[in-house]
Amino acid sequence: MIVKDEFLGKLRRYFSLNLYEVKIWTALLSRGVSTAGELSDIANVPRSRSYDVLESLEKKGFAITKLGKPIKYIAVPPSEVVERVKKNMKVDAEEKVKRLENLKGTEVIKELNTLHSQGVDLVEPSDLAGSLKGRHNLYNHLELTIRNAEKAVTIMTTSQGLQRKVEGLKPTFEKLKNKGVKIRIAAPLTKETASAVKELQGIADVKHTNAKGRFAIVDGKEVVFMVLNDQEVHPTYDVGIWVTTPFFASAMEDMYDHAWKNMGSVKNALK
């Protein structure tokens, strides 16, 4: 049986199988019913491993042991395998999430937080900086930074960026608003952003600007800024910089304060 490595690679990713498992499984599919020895020869997998691999496949729902001797294995239809794998993944994910939720408030988290706070105390302020690659990672860190705000969150973004932030960060903005954190957002406002602006009413102050920029300042201490134009870069290749620097952050916020006074209102921008 000849199965291309590229196809085997796809199956491994889709079904979370190791190389021996995917080889034995495809061999079994090609035969329908077969012994461990036959599958070992077909798939070019060591016989000493074939029984363990088939036992694993059986537990995962890919194969069934046929009654009788010699022991043979029956292939489960691929469509059924997909449903079983989906169910198993869902159960596994729910168990992992529950396990992590149960960690909150435990001694494990307290000890981890103590280790982190002690470590941060030893770090030079200039070392609290990092590069963020990919828009998904960027927004994850942006949310983390904003979530810890105590006084103010200041943002400049693009039209598309405003819509993304409403979609991904609105719950965080609402929590900050309830804590009394002042949120200001400047962006080029268009008809396309009207619904996003409406969703931010009562949560953040929004103004129109023609300036191009993508950054966030938190409490005049931390800055997250994106170095590329989001209209010209694929989300996978987006790049941002995070830095803890009260000196630079407060200077940026002062400049933002001055510019904010001259920015257009939402009403005028959306006429």
* 156 and 242 part of one domain: yes
CATH of the domain at 72: 1.10.10.10
In a domain, 58, yes or no: yes
**pLDDT tens, N- to C-terminus, the chain (271 residues):** 567 888 888 899 889 899 999 999 999 999 999 999 999 999 999 999 999 999 999 988 899 988 788 889 999 999 899 998 888 888 888 988 888 888 887 877 777 777 766 654 554 554 556 888 999 989 999 998 999 899 999 999 999 999 999 999 999 999 999 999 999 999 999 989 999 999 999 999 999 999 889 999 999 999 999 999 999 999 999 999 998 888 889 999 999 999 998 888 877 766 6
Range of the domain at 21: 5-77
In a domain, 121, yes or no: no
* 136 and 247 part of one domain: yes
Tokens of 210: 């023609």
In a domain, 50, yes or no: yes
* 61 and 138 part of one domain: no
CATH of the domain at 250: 3.30.870.10
pTM over the 0.85 mark:
no
In a domain, 116, yes or no: no
* 164 and 38 part of one domain: no
Neighbours of 29 (CB within 10 A): 18
In a domain, 113, yes or no: no
Under 8 Å CB-to-CB from 260, ≥6 apart: which residues? 184, 186, 207
CA distances from 218 to 137, 181, 249 (A): 18, 10, 8
* 170 and 231 part of one domain: yes
In a domain, 114, yes or no: no
* 69 and 133 part of one domain: no
Task: Report the C-alpha gap between 270 and 245 in whole angstroms.
Answer: 36
Count of domains observed in the chain: 2
Domain boundary among 77, 110, 137: 77
